[in-house]
Amino acid sequence: MDFPIIGVIGGGQLARMMAPAATALGFELRVLAEGPDASAVPAVANATIGDYRDLQVLTDFAAGVDVVTFDHEHVPGEHLLALVEKGINVRPGPDALIHAQDKLVMRAAVERLGLPNPRWAEVSTVEELISFGNSAGWPVVLKTPRGGYDGKGVRVLDGAGAAGDCTDWFGTGPLLAEEKVPFRRELSALVARTPSGETVAWPVVESIQVRGVCDEVIAPAPDLDPAVAEAAAAAALRLASELGVTGVMAAELFETPGRGPGFLVNELAMRPHNSGHWTMDGSVTGQFEQHLRAVLDLPLGSTDLTGGAAVMKNVLGGENSDLFGSYPLALAAEPAAKVHTYGKSVRPGRKIGHVNAVGSADGVPALRRSAGRAAAIIRDGRDPLKEN
Ligand code: ADP
């Protein structure tokens, strides 16, 4: 049998990082990218430039591949349904993906499955928002159900006065209001599921966010109560199975000691996820390989750690635009660190790469220093340890 062709909608860093995994297993990866400068374009032999909101573009792209999957969650659900009706393998399918596209749909599903949500409500007017805040307690987190990422589409409201200032967000449809959860830290449970129903989970990780953007991930989450870790992984696996997910799914969680099973569900992503980048070097099977195996309905790979622990530090754009120019310093300073960059132009705060450090379970502080130092050198072009 011929090796399969996988089509990825979206040409960002997630599609880019699927490419080496596809090459290793002999699959062909094609991308439908937003533009010629997209991160994944130079990583694949066959890239189409086109608009993922155009059904004809999607249909033409899908016609040449065996399975369609995603780098992002923004493809309109009705277009995906149209592809499914034409007999195209869309993985994950639109019925699953809607839970990663629409936070109101996700909240309702989490509730239906009896899994732990923050207090929440669908609100369509400022009055409904204020009434939710008065009963659930302020502050309240107001979210646009669709289109948010990296904290965009999220507002924290301290009281009824701030809620009154949100009129600009109303009018385009209902919004999601949530209590502001007093969490200990953020966790992520990463799992994968095949169309046949095989599932696997990686260890639950701690994800450290700075200004709404993932900054660092520690795997496994240090000092996490084993019962909480087990319950969190079980919840993510159950969500994947019950929602019919195919591919990798991340359940972002809030750790809430003494409340519920010790965590609440924040949101779901149905694709490889920033909180899983550590698996590229820190797990027997990286999330990008696993995603491809899953969408092709192949047996899934071991999720064991290659060491006892792994740390991933994101590289966000800073002042330095000559990333390669910083490589000699970064690679010499931290020879055990694994550097990944995404071929993206540097803009302040933009995700342009990450660094993984893998080692023993008792060496997490050193792994954090090592990944952090290499990431800082790439971002700034100078070594933070050599500054006077
Ligand atoms: P995005 O889709 O932009 O990733 P999230 O819903 O994950 O949006 O929110 C971004 C960040 O805002 C979360 O990682 C968390 O730090 C914070 N946050 C979101 N919802 C809540 C909440 N209900 N309580 C407290 N903090 C929250």
Please give the single-letter amino acid code of residue 99: H
What pLDDT is recorded for position 388? 56
Q: Do residues 163 and 195 both lie within one domain?
A: no
Helix ranges (H only) for the chain are 13-25, 55-63, 77-85, 94-101, 103-112, 126-136, 160-164, 226-243, 279-282, 287-295, 327-333, 364-380
Rounded to a whole number of angstroms, the distance between the first and last alpha carbons of the chain is 62
193 CA distance to ligand 1 middle (Å):
25
Residues 267 and 346 in one domain: yes
Radius of gyration of the chain (CA): 21
- Spatial distance between the Cα atoms of 366 and 374, rounded to a whole number of angstroms: 12
Determine, yes or no, domain membership for 128: yes
Amino acid at 230: E
Q: Is 209 in the pocket of ligand 1 (CB under 6 A)?
A: yes
Co-location of 375 and 274 in the same domain = yes
Residue 289 to residue 142: CA distance in whole angstroms: 35
- Report if residue 151 sits inside a domain: yes
Nearest CA to ligand 1 atom 16: 212
Give me ligand 1 centre to Cα 157, in Å. Answer: 13
**Residue that terminates a domain, selected from 90, 108, 143:** 90
Can you give the pLDDT at residue 38? 98
Does ligand 1 have an atom closer than 6 angstroms to the CB of 328? no
Residue nearest atom 2 in ligand 1 by C-alpha distance = 149
For the CA of 207, the nearest atom of ligand 1: 14
Closest CA to 177 of 110, 236, 113, 127: 127
User: Is 330 part of a structural domain of the chain?
Assistant: yes
Q: Does the CB atom of residue 151 touch ligand 1 within 6 A?
A: yes
The partner residues of 177 in beta bridges, in order of sequence, read 121, 142
Query: Is the beta carbon of 137 within 6 A of some atom in ligand 1?
Result: no
d(CA 373, CA 144): 36
Ligand 1 contact, 136 CB (< 6 A): no
Give 142's DSSP letter.
Answer: E
Are 45 and 21 spatial neighbours (Cβ–Cβ below 8 Å)? no
Q: Is residue 96 situated within a structural domain?
A: no
Which residue's alpha carbon is at the smallest distance from atom 23 of ligand 1? 180
Same domain, 215 and 343: yes
Q: How far is the CA of 179 from the centre of ligand 1 (A)?
A: 11
Let me know whether 173 and 191 are in one domain.
no
Give 196: exposed, middle or buried? Use CB within 10 Å, 0-12, 13-18, 19+. Answer: exposed
Q: Which two tokens stand for residue 343?
A: 């071929």
270 and 317 in a single domain? The answer is: yes
Same-domain status, 48 and 83: yes
The confidence score (pLDDT) of residue 250 equals 98
Q: Are residues 226 and 175 in the same domain?
A: no
Tell me the CA–centroid distance for residue 330 and ligand 1, in Å.
32
Question: Are the CB atoms for 10 and 43 separated by under 8 Å?
Answer: no
Rounded Cα–Cα distance for residues 258 and 132 (Å): 24
In a domain, 194, yes or no: yes
What is the domain count for the chain? 3
**Atom of ligand 1 at shortest distance to CA of 151?**
3
pLDDT of amino acid 1: 57
Enter the pTM of the model.
Answer: 0.97
* 180 CA closest ligand 1 atom index: 24
Q: What one-character DSSP code corresponds to residue 325?
A: G
The answer to the question of residue 203 being in a domain is: yes
Q: What is the CATH number of the domain that holds 79?
A: 3.40.50.20
* pLDDT given for residue 370 in this prediction: 98
Does residue 111 sit within a domain? no
What is the Å distance from ligand 1's center to 47 Cα? 33
Cα separation, 311 vs 220, in Å, equals 9
Per-residue pLDDT of the chain (388 residues; tens, 9 = 90+): 599 999 999 999 999 999 999 999 999 999 999 999 999 999 999 999 999 999 999 999 999 999 999 999 999 999 999 999 999 999 999 999 999 999 999 999 999 999 999 999 999 999 999 999 999 999 999 999 998 777 788 999 999 999 988 888 998 899 999 999 999 999 999 999 999 999 999 999 999 999 989 999 999 999 999 999 999 999 999 999 999 999 999 999 999 999 999 999 999 999 999 999 999 999 999 999 999 999 999 999 999 999 999 999 999 999 999 999 999 999 999 999 999 999 999 999 999 999 999 999 999 999 999 999 999 999 999 999 987 5
Q: Looking at 179, 194, 218, which one is the last position of a domain?
A: 179
Ligand 1, atom 13: nearest CA belongs to which residue?
Answer: 212
Same domain, 84 and 131: no
- State the residue range of the domain holding 125: 119-179
The sheet with strand 120-123 has its strands ordered as 120-123, 175-179, 140-143, 154-157
Same domain? 28 vs 134: no
**Shared-domain flag, residues 175 and 159:** yes
Domain harbouring 147, CATH code: 3.30.1490.20
**Ligand 1 centroid – CA 266 distance (Å):** 7
Which ligand 1 atom is the nearest neighbour of the CA of 179?
23
Residues 75 and 217 placed together within one structural domain of the fold? no
Q: Is the CB of 262 under 6 A from ligand 1?
A: no
Best residue among 104, 216, 266 to mutate for probing ligand 1's pocket (most ligand atoms within 8 Å of CB) is 266
The CATH code of the domain that includes 323 is 3.30.470.20
